[in-house]
Amino acid sequence: MSLVFTSPLQKSLPSLTATMTPQHWEKAITDFITQKQTETVSLIDRLDQNIRILENQKEKATSLIHILEEAGGLTVRARNMLTTPEDATKYTTQIKEVEEWFRQVRLKFDKAALESGIDGINLMNGDRLETPFDSKGQNKLITEGMVLSCAELGIRPPDFSTAFTTQNARIDVMNAIDIVVTVRNTISAHMNDLIISHDFAIQAVELAKTSYANLGSSNIDTETKGLIKLGILGDKILGEEKMADQIQQEILNSFAASPNMEDI
């Protein structure tokens, strides 16, 4: 199946078959390079900022998981003191002590989740992070946060009076760990997406600089082929088309072999 792909370069420049003076070509190409480079540099700044935010939020999620693991360890400790009916009486003081520790860990978790924000964004408290991929914000990656509190995660106040209620507390904690791990994995996946886009954006800026430096030093066909490649790379970065890596490469290869945009 063939793909139809429209580059913004086609909107900025006339057909390559048109008759134009070198001065007209140079101005049109210069305008395109300047616009694309400005957009891409702005995108890089936003990507830098949001990658840093996501990296921080991933670390915060990991810290919350460690707190939950601490709570899970306490449930195991309490359960091990309830292996026989007599144990509840025999270890009453110790069990109450572990129960209080669990209660304190719940408070520590809630406090840590509330204090996980950076630059006004706290994905651990239900905020969302938007990363636009174009100047108009029409294409964006949205990272949805979640309210990570003991109440929202279903971690009930501790009751270690029986093996049954202690096991329920352990189940609560394990379910909460699964949820927070999912949140962390989503953050990590989105961060990787932004890092890839950031790398492409850097390539686009370098290609724009090279194309600009080469203006007037080669024939129009050679210059425009480079700009077509920049347009395609820019499209990928700015979100006008989202394609698999293999398809991206095939399209770039086809442009390298097709100097006439009417063949695209």
pLDDT tens figures, 163-221: 999 999 999 999 999 999 999 999 999 999 999 888 877 776 677 666 656 655 554 45
CA nearest 31: which of 206, 212, 204?
Answer: 212
Q: Do 87 and 81 contact (CB within 8 A), yes or no?
A: yes
Q: Do 201 and 39 contact (CB within 8 A), yes or no?
A: no
CA nearest 200: which of 172, 230, 224, 223?
Answer: 230
- The pLDDT value given to residue 216: 54
CA distances from 174 to 43, 57, 73, 128 (A): 39, 21, 11, 25
- Fold exhibited by the domain 36-263: f41 fragment of flagellin, N-terminal domain (1.20.1330)
- The pLDDT value given to residue 23: 60
Mean pLDDT over the full length of the chain: 77
Which of 11-25, 97-111, 241-255 is the least confident region?
Answer: 241-255
For residues 56 and 2, give the distance between their C-alpha atoms in angstroms, rounded to a whole number.
42
Give this prediction's pTM.
0.71
- Domain coordinates in residue numbering, the chain: 36-263
Q: Do 140 and 43 contact (CB within 8 A), yes or no?
A: no
In the numeric block, which tokens belong to residue 168? 């329920």
Most confidently predicted of 26-30, 58-62, 215-219, 248-252: 58-62
For residues 90 and 73, give the distance between their C-alpha atoms in angstroms, rounded to a whole number.
21
Answer whether residue 26 shows pLDDT above 60: no
For residues 38 and 36, give the distance between their C-alpha atoms in angstroms, rounded to a whole number.
5
